[in-house]
Amino acid sequence: MLRHEVVWEDGAARASEARHALRALLDRAPHTGRAAVPEALRLDAELVVSELVTNAARHAPGSCGLVLRLSDGELTIAVWDTSAEVPKMREADPARVGGHGLRLIHTVSDRVVTAPYGGGKRIVAHFALPAEPGADRSEGATLPAPSRA
């Protein structure tokens, strides 16, 4: 499993740093015998990490952190912060500026879980990785993610 973790002090979180960390982790995958992560999934993951880190910095006082994990079958992006307030998805409104991030996160991720963490919360976005070509699924290889209809 590849893993990257960072903690930012009060107000120091930057989405650009989070995207850079994600790209570096995903770029290491082929050098460890894993298949390269498809470009479409990489772009979706960059969107998610940007939204989660930006929201933590904007809406939660204090420090926040990022944990990236890449296993043979899944990429997870976890962001924790000091606010116990669970984010609520707003109704779609094309005329509204802002407030669409959580909807986007849920749309491009396979699963999103929010849970209490310390005195705040942790939001984890899960991305199923495609099975490698020729992988024998009977040997426990990951099945492809359900379609995002």
**Domain spanning 2-88+98-130: which superfamily?**
Histidine kinase-like ATPase, C-terminal domain (3.30.565.10)
pLDDT tens readout for residues 66-125: 999 999 899 999 999 999 999 988 887 887 777 778 999 999 999 999 999 999 999 999
Q: What is the spatial distance between Cα 135 and Cα 131, in angstroms, rounded to a whole number?
A: 7
Domain boundaries, the chain: 2-88+98-130
Confidence of residue 134 (pLDDT cuts 50, 70, 90): very low
* Cβ partners under 8 Å of residue 134, min gap 6: none
pTM, two decimal places: 0.84
Q: What is the pLDDT of residues 4-58, one digit of tens each?
A: 999 999 878 899 999 999 999 999 999 999 999 999 999 999 999 999 999 999 9
Q: What are the Cα distances from residue 59, in Å, to 35, 44, 45, 141, 144?
A: 36, 22, 21, 39, 35
What does residue 4 show for φ and ψ, rounded to 5 degrees? -140, 135
* Number of helices (H), then strands (E), in the chain: 3, 5
